[in-house]
Chain A
């Protein structure tokens, strides 16, 4: 088995669609890491995931998964990764046992005992048809299938969207367990940043098909800050430090991309820490500079 440093390496990937371009994107997911992949709807998250799974062909660039080329070693890679989609792609006529029978033949490392443990843990009925499952149950079944073949990389596309907080929390907890030996990695696309703030080590932010930020989550949060000031004070802030400005009746909130530097430069201003949600929001409006 190939030794690798990065579970995912995406270099200069471009994909043209009518009306949308995934524009020369590059980022890595180191082995043993949870990468949160954030961006608003239509930013290019699903296209990126579909490109790395080779569901869609890319126009240019290079993708390596688990140290292997995603085209040349496609089947070998897919045996070692697991994918969780936003919607369950399993047929309504099957039940949980049928799914085990199907995946048993597909994955050489399928572990029926582990699968049944997850089914029990999630309290999923074994004989009930999937068509009668709730959305939460469907997602749990998909996750049980994904985690039962000893996959080294788990790719999730909006897997927690539409689930209630209790189920989401339970699922996030299972992902943390899954990562414990440091040999496994997760790429988790979501626009629910609170989930990623809980579990992600790294974050990549995509907007309009371009990567705006990628790196360790704590560093990104540390670097960014929100200056709350009045309109006169706003004039003193260097435009080079500003990501975008949110105006309101009382003044303005300015996101800066170097909080430490800003705290020296604008000593008389209050600089609040920014959350991933804030960062996403201010970066999305970066072209407008001022928004409300």
Chain B
């Protein structure tokens, strides 16, 4: 029964964002293609004197663009619910906020991974075409932007609920969010500055990996923090979905 409910809610939410998602993915494809064309030209033309700087520039721009697209997924679904009046009536239907938030986050996570995959592919292509490489920077930046995105979502949802003096929120949100933030700040600073040189022709990939274990650690840490934020975000979203008029 729970599976059927989850399937229904996933179908509902995905149908709501499908149209905009399609449009954005086409736009995104065009943008990434453009980047693949521009980057080699810039690289050859010496757009930025430093290759590391060029990598960082492309990494941040592409990751920011992808993350900005993802922000709209959540807003699209919320806005559709608001416009249709579903938000006003959903408590009359037999599912809890937890069920709905679970379905919403499943879709969100899948889109995050698909966009992450596109980013990886794009950065690999550009790295192969240019003198510089930015896969690490792009992935780190993408994860960091996703963390920011999730954090803004948590803040947005909880701000509304705090007005309604939601007691449960304090327990779920404040302590874990503070811990996550403490862990995340150093990774934010280091992650943005993390960039790796292109794999030299005669370097063994294992050796290369061992040398850049620090970069991997940052990526992993940011990923863990993102998972934590997604967990907290899901709980806060469930609380907001369950919120009743006071």
A132 within 8 A of B: no
Q: How far is the CB of A120 from chain B (nearest CB, A)?
A: 23
Q: How far is the CB of A41 from chain B (nearest CB, A)?
A: 17
- Tell me the bound Cα distance from A44 to B118 in angstroms: 54
The 8 Å CB contact of A57, one of B16, B80, B94, B246, is: B246
- Tell me the bound Cα distance from A177 to B19 in angstroms: 40
A106 within 8 A of B: yes
- Tell me the bound Cα distance from A93 to B86 in angstroms: 13
- Tell me the bound Cα distance from A102 to B96 in angstroms: 15
With both beta carbons as reference points, the residue of chain A lying nearest to B89 in the complex is identified as A89
The 8 Å CB contact of A108, one of B1, B12, B90, is: B1
The 8 Å CB contact of B245, one of A55, A85, A90, A104, is: A55
Q: Mark B228-246, 1 if CB is under 8 A from A, else 0.
A: 0000000000000000111
Q: Interface size (B, Cβ < 8 Å)? A: 30
A50 within 8 A of B: yes
B8 touches A75 (CB 8 A): no
A186 within 8 A of B: no
- Tell me the bound Cα distance from A101 to B80 in angstroms: 18
B94 touches A98 (CB 8 A): no
B210 within 8 A of A: no
- Contacts A53-B91, A53-B92 given; does A105 touch B245 at CB 8 Å: no
A107 within 8 A of B: yes
B45 within 8 A of A: no
Q: How far is the CB of B65 from chain A (nearest CB, A)?
A: 26
13 A-B contact pairs sorted by A residue (CB < 8 Å):
A50-B245, A53-B92, A55-B88, A56-B246, A83-B89, A83-B92, A89-B84, A89-B89, A91-B16, A103-B8, A105-B4, A106-B5, A108-B1
